[in-house]
Amino acid sequence: MFVAVRPAPDGVRRWSVVVLFVALLTGLYFPSDSRVLAAPGAWVSGSGCYPTNSSNAADCRNYKLWVPASYNGSASVPLVLMLHGCTQNPDDFAAGTQMNAVADANNFLVVYPEQPSSANASQCWNWFLPNHQARGAGEPAILAQIVAQVRGAYNVDARRMFVAGLSAGAAMTVIMGATYPDLFAAIGVAAGLEYKAGTDLPSALIAQETGGPDPNQQGQLAYQAMSGYQHRMPVIVFHGTLDATVAPKNGDQVISQWAQTNDLIDDGLDNDSVDDVADQMLPGVVPNGHTYTRYLYNDASGRVLMEKWIVDGMRHAWSGGSASGSYTDPTGPNASAEMWRFFIGSVPRLQYLPLIRR
């Protein structure tokens, strides 16, 4: 269970970091407009911080940034924030998802924050605790700070920034979509849960096993969490039918919650302008792999706003990932490639996405 507090496996690799920036200002801090160029196809390490309640303290997370060989700083490029699951780290998650290969083929940056065991014994993002479920505090604020630092150092297109995660990272991805919609144009949720599915450890465990609270209620809460930064949030979900860690019902609830949130964003009314009834169901099969069903959910104009991929026979895993990382199923549809397709295709559909305020 991905909120359990057990030590990480001995084989989990650690990586050393070089602190590039430390930001201790309230809110998002943007460094100067000078651009940092890394060697082509390179890893860059850093640390992002956010002030705690004490004026002399800050909470920090290390991260690794993948810079594709095609990046030269002359044009703005997209960015994908990737949030690992429990017992994982950036190297493991990058190896398993192969998102860097997608970035190399499409010229975008990928940033992998690291949740240390000092913050959670199993290296889980603390999605189930109230102090990590709102804007301007806790892990959401730290992750937003990391995005701000990367954007300040590289030529990032502020209108094409996305976030995706697995398991606990997927649950935190949902939180980031609700609390920092001004940062992210779309989100990708692999084996995750709806917004505030749990608000303590016992309720989180129940949600994992049987599903969270009423998605309509949680959709209202996510809408409120957007706090003046509302824009319709495109969402793509992957979940396996045999997931015994996060019950498949949770994948359905993520769609239902965001249908309610997006419905309210349209005009402030609960009038089913967006709903959780699929407009199309497209069956498919991976050669020598899993069958799956792809569900498409349209907005009022008939354009796809949400997708859900239910993979038959897949357990708790990143679909289509590499066996070189943990919690992957190479015989599923390629979640990394499909998320990128969905992400980049979602931007023209957005009616309004405010620029990040400096």
Active site residues: 167
Instruction: Give the whole-angstrom CA distance, residue 338 versus residue 236.
Output: 9
CA 308 to chain centre: 15
The H or E element spanning position 208 is helix 201-210
Instruction: Give the whole-angstrom CA distance, residue 192 versus residue 304.
Output: 21
In angstroms, the Cα distances linking 350 to 92, 163, 168, 201, 346 are 33, 16, 27, 36, 7
Tally of CA atoms within 13 A in the half-sphere of 117 that contains its CB: 13
- Contact in structure between 166 and 123 (CB atoms under 8 Å): no
Please name the residue that has the structure tokens 């396996």.
240
CA trace torsion 261, 262, 263, 265 (10° rounding) = 90
CA 167 to chain centre: 10
Instruction: Give the whole-angstrom CA distance, residue 313 versus residue 132.
Output: 33
Please name the residue that has the structure tokens 């899993």.
290
Residue 273: Cβ-neighbour burial (10 angstroms; 0-12, 13-18, 19+): middle
Q: How do 77-83 and 109-113 pair as beta strands?
A: parallel
DSSP classification of residue 159: E
Q: Which residues contact 49 (CB under 8 A, 6 or more apart)?
A: 22, 23, 24, 58, 59, 60, 61, 142, 145
Instruction: Give the whole-angstrom CA distance, residue 109 versus residue 70.
Output: 10
